[in-house]
Amino acid sequence: MRRMRRLFNRSQLDVKEVDILRGILTAAQRQARLAHETKAGADDV
Q: Quick one: pLDDT at residue 44?
A: 60
Per-residue burial over 6-36, b if 16 or more Cβ lie within 10 Å, else e, is eeeeeeeeeeebeeeeeeeeeeeeeeeeeee
Q: Quick one: pLDDT at residue 43?
A: 64
Q: Which residues contact 21 (CB under 8 A, 6 or more apart)?
A: 7, 13
Residues 3-44: pLDDT tens digits?
878 777 877 888 998 898 899 999 999 999 999 888 877 666
Structural domain boundaries of the chain?
2-43
